[in-house]
């Protein structure tokens, strides 16, 4: 996934351009401070927009009413109030009592058509109602409400209004259930607070999976009680020789809890049998020759491997998977499996045949990089495809064959949505082995039709990985992720019928002031008509 080497547009999506109220695309979104943002001018594009009527206005007397006796609803109401209070200066009490003219949050058992993550937003002068079947949908409705308010709502000090939401109804459900972003904390280590910051940024765009790459040649980042040197020694450095770091179990659970509060499911990854030098350096017995190699701080790949014939290897895997699974409430556990160049094909197949049942034993579903399809993927497993548009037909056919046989696909084509790829040759960060990936290239492809021979029904969703060979700060994360991850979020959420670059670039441009208000150091792509000033 890191080796160095060099649609038709549909009429329906054009309605989003009209809805955005754009006079001249090159001039950027032309909205005055007193003009409510059109309901369709959000990202990801909603499934259905029915504009109509006068806007809803937040006022100093507005209350947030949470209907029903729902702990999750109350938490979401409190979260919403926490976003709105600093910028508006309003009290916005959260209540389960009457709140005429206020914001209503409803969890409705009857609205099954909204599914686990869908919602309905209804806005009129009489009030604003957010309805969902499940709490995740209600949380996503709050993100839509945020985007419909002026960007200044994201500020942490009082600003002048008005705070209006255009009249009408948005009804919205996601295209894919899996909409992910991956953060590599192994090449460079990121603190709990840095991960939380990224979680908050992803949540605004309805990303619902956070894939944490917890181990690699350069560092082991999670405490394992039965093998303590993995973290204390294997986690003691990083690319370039910095201090590295690792998460205690309490810190890992803190990340999980925070992500869950934003309705992101954490997918932990322990990469194996390759990308394992940090583990091999920590325990000599994991090496076939019984000799521990030195810690590694470079960026080469493919040189390390667990010792497949040794029984202790599977004791190690069992212990790691058992402890990680016990801490992780989500469904998935990622076992890597890419770039195992130092493992023979026969050993690779034997290793995966032994390791996948261990994952199942501890109640998790296997996710692996698409090289897993060269072995026998477990029933229900997901293969994460990271090849290129130009990847060989034989490799693509292998993945497509597995998809036809029941293996689900997460699409992460490296020359489309690897967030560590440079935007252009002048980008100061990132790599270019998969080519340059500008904002349009990251957006302008269809996951449902991307892999020849793979049924559209096999596509579980999309994920944007951010590898950290050159990434070491939150500013680096933000510059490389934004705005490309916003487009990935739309690919995962929005109906295929809304997919249109010209319409998207206008809606993305309108996100510029919001990202600025949030302090996100995003890349100002010349392909996007960002508002002046």
Which residues sit opposite 57 in a β-bridge? Answer: 164
Segments in 5-48 forming alpha helices (H): 11-19
Give ∠ CA 68-74-76 in degrees, rounded to 5. Answer: 125
Distances in Å between the Cα of 446 and the Cα atoms of 100, 391, 449 are: 44, 17, 6
Cis, peptide link before residue 483, omega less than 30° from 0 = yes
Q: Which DSSP letter does residue 146 get?
A: H
DSSP 414-482: HHHH-TTB-SSTT-SSSB-TT----HHHHHSS-GGGSSTT--GGGEEEEEEEE--SS--SHHHHHHHHT
| pLDDT value, residue 112 | 98
Q: H or E element: which one contains 530? A: none
Q: pLDDT for 278-332, tens place per residue?
A: 999 999 999 999 999 999 999 999 999 999 999 999 999 999 999 999 999 999 9
More confident residue, 364 or 532: 364
Query: Helices 311-327 and 345-361 meet at what angle, rounded to 10?
Result: 40
Which residues sit opposite 421 in a β-bridge? Answer: 431
Q: Is 267 helix (H, G, I), strand (E, B) or coil?
A: strand
- Say if CB 316 and CB 230 are below 8 A apart: no
- Residue 181: φ, ψ to 5°: -140, 140
Active-site option among 117, 269, 323, 339: 339
Pair of tokens at residue 445: 């492809």
Percent of the chain whose pLDDT exceeds 70: 93
- Say if CB 21 and CB 61 are below 8 A apart: no
| pLDDT value, residue 32 | 54
| pLDDT value, residue 69 | 85
Mean confidence (pLDDT) of the chain: 94
Which residues sit opposite 131 in a β-bridge? Answer: 106, 120
pLDDT beyond 90 at 45 = yes
Task: Report the residue count for the chain.
Answer: 533
Cα distance between residue 508 and residue 497, in whole Å: 17
Q: pLDDT for 366-414, tens place per residue?
A: 999 999 999 999 999 999 999 999 999 999 999 999 999 999 999 999 9
| pLDDT value, residue 28 | 46
pLDDT beyond 80 at 526 = yes
- Say if CB 176 and CB 231 are below 8 A apart: no
- Say if CB 467 and CB 269 are below 8 A apart: no
Q: H or E element: which one contains 105? A: strand 103-107
Q: pLDDT for 410-429, tens place per residue?
A: 999 999 999 999 999 999 99
pLDDT beyond 70 at 10 = no
| pLDDT value, residue 202 | 99
Q: pLDDT for 223-270, tens place per residue?
A: 999 999 999 999 999 999 999 999 999 999 999 999 999 999 999 999
| pLDDT value, residue 31 | 53
Distances in Å between the Cα of 462 and the Cα atoms of 177, 182, 492, 500 are: 9, 11, 6, 18
| pLDDT value, residue 153 | 98
Cis, peptide link before residue 44, omega less than 30° from 0 = yes
- Say if CB 306 and CB 220 are below 8 A apart: no
| pLDDT value, residue 2 | 47
The question of whether 394 is a catalytic residue gets the answer no
pLDDT band at 17, cuts 50/70/90?
A: very low
Contacts of 149 (CB under 8 A, 6+ apart): 37, 58, 84, 163, 164, 165
Tell me whether strands 382-385 and 408-411 are parallel, antiparallel or unpaired.
parallel
DSSP 300-337: --S-----TT-HHHHHHHHHHHHHHHHH--SSEEE---
Contacts of 437 (CB under 8 A, 6+ apart): 415, 416, 417, 418, 421, 422, 423, 484
Min mean pLDDT across 24-28, 110-114, 200-204, 502-506 is at 24-28
Give the Cβ contact number of residue 312 at 10 Å. 12
Contacts of 484 (CB under 8 A, 6+ apart): 417, 419, 437, 439, 442, 443, 464, 523
Q: pTM of the full predicted structure?
A: 0.94
Specify the residue for token string 């309705």. 263
| pLDDT value, residue 68 | 86
Cα distance between residue 372 and residue 364, in whole Å: 16
Distances in Å between the Cα of 158 and the Cα atoms of 66, 165, 527 are: 25, 18, 33
DSSP 60-84: TT--EEE-SS-HHHHHHHHHHHHHH
Query: Helices 311-327 and 249-261 meet at what angle, rounded to 10?
Result: 50
| pLDDT value, residue 469 | 98
Specify the residue for token string 């054009």. 14
Cα distance between residue 295 and residue 282, in whole Å: 8
For the chain, give percent helix, strand, coil, nearest 5. Answer: 35, 15, 45
């Amino acid at each position: 996934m890191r080796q160095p080497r060099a649609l038709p547009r549909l009429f329906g999506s054009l309605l989003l351009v009209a809805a955005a109220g754009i006079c001249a695309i090159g001039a950027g979104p032309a909205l005055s401070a007193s003009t409510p943002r059109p309901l369709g001018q959000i990202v990801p594009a909603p499934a259905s927009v029915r504009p109509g009527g006068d806007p809803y206005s937040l006022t100093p007397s507005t209350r947030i009413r949470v209907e029903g006796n729902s702990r999750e609803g109350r938490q979401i109401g409190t979260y919403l109030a926490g976003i709105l209070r600093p910028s508006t200066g309003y009290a916005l009490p959260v209540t389960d009592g009457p709140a005429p003219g206020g914001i209503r949050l409803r969890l409705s058992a009857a609205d099954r058509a909204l599914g686990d993550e869908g919602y309905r937003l209804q806005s009129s002068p009489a009030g604003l109602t957010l309805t969902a079947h499940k709490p995740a949908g209600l949380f996503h409705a709050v993100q839509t409400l945020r985007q419909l308010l002026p960007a200044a709502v994201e500020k942490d000090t009082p600003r002048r209004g008005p705070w209006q939401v255009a009249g009408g109804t948005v009804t919205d459900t996601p295209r894919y259930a899996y909409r992910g972003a991956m953060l590599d904390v192994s090449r460079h280590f990121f603190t709990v607070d840095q991960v939380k910051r990224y979680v908050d940024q992803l949540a605004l765009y309805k990303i619902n999976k956070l894939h944490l790459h917890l181990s690699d040649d350069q560092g082991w980042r999670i405490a394992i009680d039965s093998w303590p040197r993995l973290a204390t020694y294997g986690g003691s450095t990083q690319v370039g020789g910095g201090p590295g770091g690792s998460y205690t179990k309490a810190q890992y659970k803190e990340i999980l809890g925070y992500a869950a509060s934003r309705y992101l499911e954490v997918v932990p990854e322990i990469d194996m049998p390759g990308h394992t030098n940090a583990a091999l350096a920590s325990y000599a017995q994991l090496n076939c020759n019984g000799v521990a190699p030195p810690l590694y701080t470079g960026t080469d790949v493919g040189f390390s491997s667990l010792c497949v014939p040794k029984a202790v290897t599977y004791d190690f895997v069992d212990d790691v998977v058992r402890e990680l699974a016990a801490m992780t409430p989500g469904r998935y556990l990622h076992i890597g499996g890419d770039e195992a160049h130092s493992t023979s094909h026969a050993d690779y197949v034997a290793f995966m045949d032994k390791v996948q049942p261990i994952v199942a034993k501890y109640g998790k579903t296997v996710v692996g990089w698409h090289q897993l399809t060269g072995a026998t993927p477990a029933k229900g497993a997901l293969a994460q495809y990271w090849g290129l548009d130009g990847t060989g037909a034989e490799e693509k056919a292998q993945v497509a064959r597995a998809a036809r046989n029941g293996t689900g696909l997460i699409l992460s084509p490296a020359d489309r949505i690897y967030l560590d790829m440079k935007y252009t040759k002048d980008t100061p960060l990132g790599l270019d082995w998969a080519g340059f990936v500008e904002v349009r290239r990251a957006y302008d492809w269809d996951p449902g039709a991307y892999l020849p021979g793979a049924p559209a029904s096999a596509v579980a969703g999309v994920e944007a990985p951010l590898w950290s060979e050159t990434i070491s700060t939150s500013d680096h994360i933000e510059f490389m992720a934004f705005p490309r991850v916003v487009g990935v979020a739309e690919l995962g959420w929005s109906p295929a019928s809304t997919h249109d670059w010209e319409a998207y670039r206008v809606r993305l441009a309108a996100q510029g002031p919001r990202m600025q208000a949030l302090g996100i150091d995003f890349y100002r792509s010349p392909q996007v008509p960002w508002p002046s000033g």
